[in-house]
Amino acid sequence: MAPPRADTETVPGKVILSGSDLHRVVDRIAHQILEKTSGATGTVLLGIPTRGVPLAHRLAARIHAFEGIDIPVGALDITLYRDDLRLHATRALGRTEIPGDGLDGRRVILVDDVLFSGRTVRAALDALSDVGRPSSVQLAVLVDRGHRELPIRADYVGKNIPTALSEKVRVSLAETDDGVDEVKLYGDAA
């Protein structure tokens, strides 16, 4: 289940993507994946928990709807590879599920909700190399909010949102957040 996010619960945020916007963005990324990978053969989608996992499943469902092909979908938990473990209380682990045929020689597309510092993706790349040896790795994110701290970029971006460091981007997905699909931006006044 999604961790509680009480800090943004009380103040009204600014809606960046509504439910229908979000669906269109997912549709577009699915099309882009098909285009850029010439039909998505030999491709595996790996969602990063928590919200990357339902996003990966949605992308796979849309790709199936457009072209009738089934792409393996999995989950890659990166908690044990984080570089900030010692800065916080111990974190509970998420699920890692690697599709049955493995990742060796395949094109892996990592899927996450928000791209921010790039540290999560760095950890995911480390985790990935312990699980298998993909032929290539790409990154798909719903929102890119800038402020990268590492040389990492996304191959597929749903929406670029210029933010201040003090702001918070909150992605809600029906699967993890009580049936609500939206992306909101919360200011530092909170």
**188 sits near another protein (criterion: CB under 8 A):** no
Query: Which of these ranges, 5-13, 26-34, 77-85, 159-167, lies near another protein under the rule CB under 8 A?
Result: 77-85
Identify which of residues 10 and 86 has a Cβ nearer to another protein in the complex. Answer: 86
Nearer to another protein, 38 or 90 (CB): 90
**Cα–Cα distance for residue pair 157/96, rounded to 1 Å:** 24
Q: Are strands 14-17 and 182-186 parallel, antiparallel or unpaired?
A: antiparallel
**Judged by CB under 8 A, which stretch of 29-37, 89-97, 150-158, 162-170 contacts another protein?**
89-97
Part in contact with another protein (CB under 8 A); list of ranges 9-17, 124-132, 150-158, 174-182: 124-132
What's the CA gap between 142 and 157, in Å, rounded? Answer: 6
User: Strand ranges (DSSP E) for 52-178?
Assistant: 73-75, 107-115, 136-144, 156-160, 168-172
Query: What are the structure tokens assigned to 130, written together?
Result: 């312990």
Q: Does 85 bind another protein (CB under 8 A)?
A: yes
Residue 161 within binding range of another protein, rule CB under 8 A = no
DSSP code of 187?
Answer: -
Stretch 94-113 residues interacting with another protein (CB under 8 A): 94-96
